[in-house]
Structure 1
Amino acid sequence: MAIATRFLLGALNGLLGPIKAYSIEVCRPEHEALGISLVGTAWGIGLIIGPALGGYLAQPAEKFPDLFSPDSFFGRFPYFLPCLCSSLFAAVVLVICIWMPETLHKHKARHDENKNDEALEAHQSDYKDKDEQIPSLDDKKSLLKNWPFMSSLITYCVFSFHDMAYSEVFSLWAESDRKYGGLSLSSEDVGQVLSVTGVSLLIYQLSVYPRTNKILGPIKTSRVAAVLCMLILLGYPYMTHLSGTALSVVLNIASILKINLASTIISSSFILQNNAVPQDQRGAANGLSVTVMSLFKSIAPAAAGTVFSWAQERQHAFFFPGDQMVFFLLNAIELLGLVLTFKPFMAAPESRAA
């Protein structure tokens, strides 16, 4: 039942693709990075508030006995309240979406268009030149034949695989015993590190990334971020020599830098994908992107866990013993993604080449 429910939640949650397309289309070209950053920021806020709120509302009969009796409906179904609240929140968002103006205009213009539609129509002039330099639907009917899009999609999937594998490995490595190359941290310590990292991600996406992308462009920004990620990962195995405050400070800094650099690559990939297709195909392109990315992310945790278990058995190996092998393989995947950002593999529209 739990697996079926999770499957339905994933299958029916087709929001991320349209949201990415919408954020690109309602922003002027010079503000695309900020629009994509807002999507990432909203996602990050959800990842922080969602689990916290779910944990706070779960088992209300035990936490709030004055409000919920153990014999009540909420006492017999201790996890119904957080599910109810999330469903009500989704219903409110659905109602709000009714007033959101459409960005894909195929109807004839009417004289009584509201101001929101007129404002969005004004944005279309900004995209006219951009879309003219992107192959039209008549030239490329299939997204699979659009190599600028497909090259950015494949690169995006490689980096997404790396990020998910890193997320899986980080917690296992941080909580494993020091004799196995870990840090012997508690789950609370790891949670604190991830919370601090999450807050930093919100600040970075809103303030730093848009400026960086404006200066370097999405491709060069991705390359710089990938190189820095590899350098940071090289130092992870040596954190076992630290302890106390020094370990806490270094680990938090490394985690903040790693996650923010990873978000830089993902946000840049979003921009490349949306700029590689005409407006008519952006919804389908983002839907395909999310679908393929989800497949890679579903494989990554199992692969990372298997490699981590294997690495624990080779603590005294000559070539990258123990967890050094884990981080070496993570860097190998990151290096593959970096290589894919160069020609002849990576192709970008001439007007957007970086």
Structure 2
Amino acid sequence: MADDNNNIRQPLLKNHRYHENCPGCKVDQDKQMQQGLPVKQLLNVWMVTLCTALPVSCLFPFLYFMVRDFGIAKTEADVSSYAGYVGSSYMFARALTSFPWGMFADRYGRKRVIIMGLVAVVVFNTLFGLSTSFFMAVSTRFLLGFLNGSLGPIKAYAIELFREEHQALGLSTVSSAWGIALIIGPALGGYLAQPVEKYPNIFPKGSLFDKFPYFLPCLMISIFALAVLVACIWLPETLHNHKISNEINEDAEAIEKEITKNSVGKNENLLLNWPLMSSIIVYCLFSLHDMAYTEVFSLWAVSPQKLGGLNYSTDDVGNVFSISGFTLLLYQIFLYPAVQKICGPVRLAHVSAAISIPLLQIYPFIALLPGFTMDLFLTIASVLMLCLSTTVVTGLFIQQNKAVEQHQRGAANGIAMTAMSISKAVGPAGGGALLAWSQKRLNASFLPGTHMVFFVLNMIEALGVVMMFML
């Protein structure tokens, strides 16, 4: 049925009368004239997504030390639990507002929601870096998530901004920017946190960054977001501000009636759209896994060896994330487009999800390797996990956005973001608590220490793989 609808829409576009003052019509006209790869549009989507996602992950390398400095944890093992609460507050808040932001985007436009989200990043990400208490850290993260509802509309935007042949690449740009942000963010947090200790020649004792040792990475991200916010003044709007014209010829009217008849089930209730809802359920499982994995990896890496950690510094974590992010960028540019053309983005997502299970299971054994060998294999595993995860998310994005028409796409992505945010809110808190618990059972006879953490993560991943093959 989807192919039939696509065939019907082509003549409809040819007969459609473009409205002079409609931004959506202007974008449609530009799409008809597009030749070659739409680099400018891809860059716009990439930069906005990057700004939206960077604050999600920049805190992971230094969160353990930040919470420890607050002095709220009674024992060293409890630090991971409190760190999980800070990480979860953002996602919990976003779960509350993603659907309303999606509806707002359907009514008033994608651009307005994107701009409001960037303003929230500039203000509340900066305030988070200035946190002096556990309550302030949780509150600023909550407000950041509550007011930043742009990620769902960005996915709708990526579908509407590109021609049919480039839509998979557009959504891949969203997922790759998100994945790279989950790497660049921790890298910035790792390199720039506690600058007075790391770079005493540049940041002297008694300076602002001595009083607020975790402010610098947040400040850098906020400055970048401010620059992108200014650039968004020229961002095109894709939403149409009119109904179908009465001047469309009779043949086009008949075509529109056919589309309406074939799509009536979708238009009535998104919750009854099974292709949409099933892909969202699977998306939630992988989101839960990815967020818990990112939290666990960062906390596990900086934990002391006596608790089963790697005793990495924030710089060491930053190195791993930087290499992974750069490799993901190369993968998205050179390898992913060619492979997805051969086997399709959805089938590629299935294969990637299945491969990630045995890869994740070897993490505790990599930690047993000596010195440089451990660093090398851990970095390789991190690179592969990131590329596989991004491929899976891209396939699910495509399924979700193909399941609805434009006038419901913002709301549909809002539902997906709400469900995903709930999953990702559980992820850091659950991952942090699970790691803290595992570090208290180092001598257990069944899956001691971090073996239990990665086993649980693998069970979530396996459930997602099974459900994905049932779609």
Q: Same fold (TM over 0.5)?
A: yes
What letter matches 2:466 in structure 1? V
Shifted more, 216-225 versus 290-299: the winner is: 216-225
Q: Relative to structure 1, is the Cα distance of residues 146 and 134 closer, same or farther in structure 2, using a 3 angstrom cutoff?
A: farther
Aligned match of 1:198: 325
Out of 425, 431, 434, which is 1:307 matched to? 434
Aligned match of 1:167: 294
2: CA distance, partners of 1:74 / 1:191: 19
SS at match of 1:317: coil
Structure 1 residue ranges without an equivalent (≥5): 111-124, 347-354
Residues 1:145 and 2:272 aligned together: yes
Out of 221, 225, 232, which is 1:97 matched to? 232
Aligned match of 1:14: 149
CA contact (8 A) 2:302 2:309 kept: yes
Residues 1:52 and 2:179 aligned together: no
1: CA distance, partners of 2:435 / 2:193: 32
Out of 425, 449, 466, which is 1:298 matched to? 425
Q: Relative to structure 1, is the Cα distance of residues 181 and 45 closer, same or farther in structure 2, using a 3 angstrom cutoff?
A: closer
Q: Relative to structure 1, is the Cα distance of residues 64 and 307 closer, same or farther in structure 2, using a 3 angstrom cutoff?
A: closer
What letter matches 1:168 in structure 2? E
SS at match of 2:153: helix
CA contact (8 A) 1:41 1:206 kept: no
2: CA distance, partners of 1:315 / 1:50: 27
Residues 1:37 and 2:164 aligned together: no
Q: Relative to structure 1, is the Cα distance of residues 84 and 207 closer, same or farther in structure 2, using a 3 angstrom cutoff?
A: same
CA contact (8 A) 1:38 1:206 kept: no
2: CA distance, partners of 1:80 / 1:270: 34
Aligned match of 2:159: 24
TM-score between both structures, scaled by the size of structure 1: 0.77
TM-score between both structures, scaled by the size of structure 2: 0.59
SS at match of 1:241: coil
Shifted more, 201-210 versus 330-339: the winner is: 201-210
Counterpart mapping for 1:69-218 below 5 A: 90=225, 93-107=228-242, 132=259, 136-137=263-264, 139-178=266-305, 180-218=307-345
* Cα distance per residue 1:130-159 (max 9 Å; x no partner): x95996256542211111001101100100
Residues 1:288 and 2:415 aligned together: yes
Residues 1:320 and 2:441 aligned together: no
CA contact (8 A) 2:188 2:318 kept: no
1: CA distance, partners of 2:318 / 2:353: 25
Out of 381, 403, 408, which is 1:254 matched to? 381
The percent of aligned pairs where both chains have the same amino acid is 50
Q: Relative to structure 1, is the Cα distance of residues 96 and 322 closer, same or farther in structure 2, using a 3 angstrom cutoff?
A: closer
SS at match of 1:340: helix
Aligned match of 1:116: none
Aligned match of 1:122: none
Q: Relative to structure 1, is the Cα distance of residues 92 and 51 closer, same or farther in structure 2, using a 3 angstrom cutoff?
A: same
CA contact (8 A) 1:218 1:272 kept: no
1: CA distance, partners of 2:177 / 2:161: 16
What letter matches 2:299 in structure 1? L
Aligned match of 1:275: 402
* Cα distance per residue 1:216-265 (max 9 Å; x no partner): 22332222111111111121111133112211211111110011111111
2: CA distance, partners of 1:209 / 1:100: 27
What letter matches 2:170 in structure 1? G
1: CA distance, partners of 2:287 / 2:383: 17
| RMSD value, Cα | 3.7
CA contact (8 A) 2:283 2:393 kept: yes
What letter matches 1:29 in structure 2? E
More helix by share: 2
Q: Relative to structure 1, is the Cα distance of residues 289 and 63 closer, same or farther in structure 2, using a 3 angstrom cutoff?
A: farther
CA contact (8 A) 2:186 2:317 kept: no
SS at match of 1:155: helix
1:63 Cα deviation (Å)? 7.5
CA contact (8 A) 1:177 1:184 kept: yes
- Aligned positions, number: 321
Q: Relative to structure 1, is the Cα distance of residues 324 and 133 closer, same or farther in structure 2, using a 3 angstrom cutoff?
A: farther
